[in-house]
Amino acid sequence: MKYFLMILIASVFLGTEIIAIPTPFAQLTLYRVFALSVPLLIVYFFIQKNSHIKIRRNSYATFSVIAFIFWWLWSVISFIWVEDVRLWLQAVFLLTLGVSSVIAIYLWSQNKQDWETLIKVSWIMMSLLVLLGYYEIITNHYIFADMSKLDKYSTFVAEPMTRIPITHFENQNDFATMLLAYVAVSLILYHITSHSSKRMGYLISTFLGSYLIYRSSSRMILLCLILYIFSLISLTFKWDFKRKHYLIGFLVIMIFSIFSVLYIPAVQNMIDVFIYTGGTDIVTGDTGRVNLLRNGIIFLASTFGFGVGAGNIESWMANYRFLPTQKIINMHHWWGEILVGYGLLVFILYVLTYGLIIYRLFQIRRVQTKRRQKVTNQLISFMIVYILASITSANNMLIEWHWVFFGLIISYIKIFENKQNFLCDLENETRRNYEFDYNIK
């Protein structure tokens, strides 16, 4: 199944513009064909009692996959109370693709060699998109973009530095988010490769991806890139905080926060956005986005925490919004979309799963060599910054590569959990740390 996964992962980066067949329901792509075949393959292997289906109990990776499956089941059940069946079908279809990809990578990525091969496939396909991005900003030739939206003020010809890379993505924010993952993948390969020329190539690709993030004009992703670097630097040190350090840190944050509110105009404006709701349908973009969340919370309460149903936020926002949103009906917030669309139970489970993945990665790095720790650090840092990065896209359900990336992270955890001495090593490391802290006291 290794080659199946390689094609699945490679094809997801082609998007819905390259090698796609239009149908009345949705674009039929190579990735979608492979993702939809996953449930059929699982049933076939189960009937044949094939060794390709191995599930580890008492595993954080297995729990994560179960959480995604529960999310999918809940989306199907929400058919009972949705208003717009067409939107529900689209959402369930996209969620089916995503969850199927996660399950496939979890089940059929068996060892470190498999995982590293899949990472290399991801890097190659991402690199092709990076090259296309540079082709766009150098030549001002955009193959897939709608120039009326991208070059609103017609500056790309006269001012080349205003050109924005986008490739086949819907907007530059979506492309910039993928570039953030590209930086992580490049650095992973940099640390697992011993060949000096290859390491140099991966390092160069890191800088190339970072520059395209800057050129994308996506402020949030640029901030996430800075936070990503800061996270990596922080993880290189072994911190030994005492209670007084936490107290000092808390006081510093409080003082800085009060100072910011009193004297920094940008912070004051941000607070105004959260307070002001807008008296008419003419509101600022930031207030409109905040109102989308406010309306969503009202919808959630109206459905007693069950959510409006898969894909139906837009229908509710169009028909029942309480606050003006500049006539925008898409939530524009991944976490808000999960909460309002699928309800409190799915949202809590998603947040719990997200937190447990990060926690398990921290546990894994404790029993790894220095070289392997640097690989895990990339995954931890990406998971942390993706909390913010995920809210830049209008609809993460359509960002199909992110499901594959989550599948790779979950399979990474599974591979280390399957190591014979992992739990024993983890227990010994915990005991050593406890004894060290006790001796200090």
- Rounded CA separation 20/322 (Å): 39
Burial of 42 (0-12, 13-18, 19+ CB in 10 A): middle
Residue 296 structure tokens? 């969503």
> How far is the C-alpha of 240 from the C-alpha of 25, rounded, in Å?
55
State the Cα torsion 309-310-315-316 to the nearest 10°: 40
Distance of CA 280 to the CA centre of its chain: 34
CA distance 90 to 82: 13
pLDDT of residue 310: 93
User: How far apart, in whole angstroms, are the C-alpha atoms of residue 123 and residue 106?
Assistant: 19
- Nearest CA to 193 among 123, 111, 126? 123
Q: Whole-model pTM above 0.85? A: yes
- Asked if the model's pLDDT at residue 159 lies above 70, the reply is yes
Each residue of 221-275: pLDDT tens digit? 999 999 999 999 999 877 666 677 668 877 887 887 787 766 677 665 666 555 5
pLDDT in tens, 73-114: 999 999 999 999 999 999 999 999 999 999 999 999 988 999
Q: Kindly report the backbone phi and psi dihedral angles of residue 422, in degrees, each rounded to the nearest multiple of 5, phi listed first.
A: -60, -55
Q: How far is CA 123 from the centre of its chain?
A: 16
Q: Please say if the pLDDT value at position 334 is more than 60.
A: yes
pLDDT digits (tens, 9 = 90+) for 39-61: 999 888 888 876 667 777 889 99
> 3-class DSSP state for residue 21?
strand
pLDDT for 440:
40
